[in-house]
Amino acid sequence: MHCQKCEKKASIHLQQHRMALCKEHFLEWLLNQTENSIKKFHLFTKGERILVAVSGGKDSLSLWDILWQLGYCVDGIYIDLGIDARIGYSQKSRLLAEQFASERKLKLKVVDVKAAYSENIPEMTERTQRGQSKPCSVCGLVKRYIMNKSALEEGYAVLATAHNLDDEAAILLMNTLNWSMDLIRRQLPLLPERPGFVRKVKPFYRTYEREAAAYALLSGIRYIYEECPYSKGSTQLYHKRILNQIEDRQPSVKLDFYLGYLRANENRMFALKADDKENIHEYYCANCGQLTNRGDLCSFCNLTSGQKL
């Protein structure tokens, strides 16, 4: 098969876009697609300081690389979760993130959870009952808190995460099977800034996981191949597999599903009605001062102050 743009041998066939491209044109195409995604939802501008959350995996390193190539002002944050799981998961992924940054002379902030809060993620999980010994729930809470805090404290305009289309479609499927309207309402590429919370964006919302992986491979980015060992058996991975099955039969179903949701959202399909009330209670955490929807301590401070959750 030949590249659609230059007749060279194609390196990748994007069935969902009915398109085959050589290495150079694929890399260029993904850069352009990301730029268009950023502009379409006004995620950020060239003048703003961006902090990208980096895990050492293909998605976040590809995103960081692309934003950098596009000329955005973008630093990285790596959170060392202290997950070993017999494969040295955190150690390996941290090294890869650091190498990526130093090769490009980019700024990477590293937060070591154990150093900062006395326990790593597996230890916090073991102590609390949150997540029934699956650390994903504790881990999500800790990462969200640290990313937001770091972005705010260091004056970034925006925090970018590398959630890709496969992630977004799987989460949307999960939330749609339950019709969890509050979650469906918020699954947007841009969550605007509000007091105590930095603007959050997902520039890869229309990028297939396979495209992010191909970008990393073709541009020579070294990333950690292993998924987090704790994600095995997770509901989100299960829904990803289901959508992969449907995509095999019906190419572009993930894209149609998520973009169709965005259109339905633009048409105010999921908007709160005039007589609905959103359950927002605003308190300030007695420890860290962050806005929270519960009195006394926020969930994070509750977790790190040694409470059982």
276 forms part of the interface with a copy of itself (CB under 8 A)? yes
Q: Are 103 and 68 in contact (CB under 8 A)?
A: no
**What is the pairing mode between strands 12-14 and 19-21?**
antiparallel
HEC per residue, 134-149: CCHHHHHHHHHHHHHH
Distance of closest approach, residue 43 Cβ to a copy of itself, in angstroms: 22
Measure the CA–CA gap between 172 and 214, rounded to whole angstroms: 24
CA quadruple 218, 65, 213, 248: dihedral positive or negative?
negative
Residues in binding contact with a copy of itself, number by CB under 8 A: 23
Distance of closest approach, residue 243 Cβ to a copy of itself, in angstroms: 9
Distance of closest approach, residue 268 Cβ to a copy of itself, in angstroms: 6
Binders of a copy of itself among residues 37 to 96 (CB under 8 A) are none
Which range binds a copy of itself by CB under 8 A, 100-108, 132-140, 158-166, 261-269? 261-269
Closer residue to a copy of itself in complex, CB, 267/279: 267
User: Residue 185's closest CA among 103, 272, 260?
Assistant: 272
Binders of a copy of itself among residues 145 to 184 (CB under 8 A) are 176-179, 181
237 forms part of the interface with a copy of itself (CB under 8 A)? no
Measure the CA–CA gap between 12 and 2, rounded to whole angstroms: 10
Distance of closest approach, residue 214 Cβ to a copy of itself, in angstroms: 25
Closer residue to a copy of itself in complex, CB, 238/306: 238
6 forms part of the interface with a copy of itself (CB under 8 A)? no
Distance of closest approach, residue 185 Cβ to a copy of itself, in angstroms: 10
Neighbour count for residue 19 (Cβ, 10 Å): 16
Choose, by CB under 8 A, the member of 154, 182, 256, 296 that binds a copy of itself: 256
- Buried residues in 78-88 as b, exposed as e (16+ CB within 10 A): bbbbbbeeeee
| CA distances in angstroms from 150 to 88, 156, 233, listed in the order given | 25, 8, 31
267 forms part of the interface with a copy of itself (CB under 8 A)? yes
| CA distances in angstroms from 192 to 10, 42, 44, 189, 201, listed in the order given | 39, 11, 11, 10, 8
Closer residue to a copy of itself in complex, CB, 181/286: 181
269 forms part of the interface with a copy of itself (CB under 8 A)? yes
Closer residue to a copy of itself in complex, CB, 179/225: 179
If you count them, how many residues does the chain have?
Answer: 309
242 forms part of the interface with a copy of itself (CB under 8 A)? yes
255 forms part of the interface with a copy of itself (CB under 8 A)? no
103 forms part of the interface with a copy of itself (CB under 8 A)? no
| CA distances in angstroms from 257 to 1, 26, 122, 173, 206, listed in the order given | 28, 24, 35, 9, 11
Distance of closest approach, residue 177 Cβ to a copy of itself, in angstroms: 5
- Amino acid (one-letter) located at 94: R
| CA distances in angstroms from 147 to 17, 55, 266, listed in the order given | 34, 12, 28
Which range binds a copy of itself by CB under 8 A, 11-19, 198-206, 218-226, 262-270? 262-270
Measure the CA–CA gap between 226 and 130, rounded to whole angstroms: 25
Closer residue to a copy of itself in complex, CB, 269/286: 269
Binders of a copy of itself among residues 173 to 232 (CB under 8 A) are 176-179, 181
**Interacting residue ranges for a copy of itself, rule: CB under 8 A:** 176-179, 181, 238, 242, 245-246, 249, 253, 256-257, 260-261, 263-264, 267-270, 273, 276
